[in-house]
Structure 1
Amino acid sequence: VVGGRNKYLIDGHLAQPSRVQNLFHSVQLNVNNPHFLIMQGRITKVLNMKPPEILSMLEEAANVEKAFVKGVVAKLVKVKDSSAMTALEVCAGGKLFNVVVDSESTGKQLLQKGDLRRRVTIIPLNKIQSKPVPSTVKNAADKLVGEGNAEVALSLVGYDDEVQTAMEYVFGSTFVCKTSDAARECRECDSQISSILKEQQKLKNKIGEKNLERKKLENEVKRVEMEQKECSLKVDKLIEKHAWITSEKQLFGRSGSDYDFTSRDPQVARDQYEKLQAEQSGLEKRVNKKVMAMFEKAEDEYNDLISKKNIIENDKSKIKLVIEELDEKK
């Protein structure tokens, strides 16, 4: 603002307001957002804003429904015991200023459209994963240092049910102890519990592997049973097809018999049988050719004899006629 009038510069040169607006539109910047431009004198104020003030500005800038933005962690909890305030702040650390939202899409809107001037961490309720202290670990801590001397940090704060997952993420895995001795014993106990949990996980993995092996064994047993049934059906069909099996099956496997399978390998016998069959087939082919040749020769000789016989009979008839003519001339 110069002399009570707005003055616009682009690259150090005077420019009309319409040209400035066109420039913003060309890079898809929303100039109608009240927080799109931060006027001189407000920059320091924005940088010094408290988390709730920043959150309010982000909601307005990103045009996000307030129902989707739950708020800053520090504003979502109520400390039940003021003596634990410092311990809870240490437990939560920087997470106290994280912003809790309903989903990652809302968080994305805040980050992309909020015109952020400082780093803000988002906790989306639909994605965050928490690991709260198991009740068994809490009971063990009570037995170790006495009930009330070690409390899960989560139990020392109040909050709405809708943000429980976020609170478990921030406070759920930490103990707040009344004395340093209790804290030391809990830390040692925690180390032992961690080792026990690791061993427990190893045992679970081994049990899983054993169950898998048992499953494989069960499948193998089923496969063998199926093969046994198939073999039984094949045997029944063979007995039905070959009557001699019934009368000689008592000899199967007997020493010195034709069915002594220990001294005579069935596979070797089968190979020999197939070899003999092949030789027999070859002999049949050769014998058949020889017989056919003999048959053809005999047939040719027979046809030759018949031809000669016809010639002789024909000549005999002619001679007989000649003799008869000679007799008449006498």
Structure 2
Amino acid sequence: MRERTPLPVPLWSPSASPDGKVSRATGGRVRVLTGDDTRALHKLLDADPVGNTSVAAALQQRGTAAVGKGRQSALLLGIDAAEPHSGADRRLISACWLGSNIIPVGADPTTAKQFGRAARALRRRVSSIYGRSEAVLALFEATGWSNHREVRAHQPLMVMYQEPEMRPLPGVRPSKPEEFSAVEQACAAMFTEELGFSPYDHGASQYRDRIRGLIQAGHSLIAVDPESRQITFKAEFGSVTEQAVQVQGVWVNPLWRGRGMAAPGMAAVVNYGLRLAPRVSLYVNGYNTPAIRAYERVGFQHAGAYSTVLF
């Protein structure tokens, strides 16, 4: 059998309707979801509120499973159960968010491969694929895309349901609109250190709008040194639903590292997060042993693993 040559992630290719491309690429197994699928999609997301926080938050904001407005708007793909279903809703067994990121939902390796074939056929340029490990790695393999920056195959997913016993870091609080410039600098420093490239490479205005939105929503938390007025610690709630909060962007200013701030800072973040939802989760690179140990000291429990493919 002739081996298939890997392909780069394509530039976006316009198509009046993605339905035909998806159906042909998957033999009719995958379809583009519509507004009528919203209720069924909510049920699927509710089966794994910790693993599905990002997509659940996006669906909550959009209010519908239908394709968004605009040529490059995100869409949702779905696979139905093979057996007939007598209920009012189709029984979705898995789904996939496809926008600037690709996020499989409730997918096993077999269904994830179908989503990978659909993503390849739709020819959308993406910045990452992330989510539960088995699904992400199978989906990525099925795309055949080769020009990825990095595959982070093991990222422990961790969760807390109760306030930490550890004393929280004093002074952690929501950032203020007038602190935008300092928060932006801290976020950009963390992003560059974590991913190895600037967040502005993918659009400066979009990145700044994202930070402003987090500040306005009260989802950006910081601690500030009273003397220098520098941000010493920060974190954000990247996704928030009624069932779970997912923390992102945890960062300690290099000038304050080695002082034991990470764990107490996260204790404060968890306390804030539990005011918004009954679960606070995060995922962390498997090689970052100090961070994992710090989260375990706070009280985070392991809840499986994520993988991320960066482009």
TM-score by length of structure 2 reads 0.17
TM-score by length of structure 1 reads 0.16
Highest CA radius of gyration, 1 or 2? 1
- Which protein is richer in helix relative to its size? 1
> Which structure carries more relative contact order (alpha carbon 8 Å, separation 6+)?
2
- Which protein is richer in strand relative to its size? 2
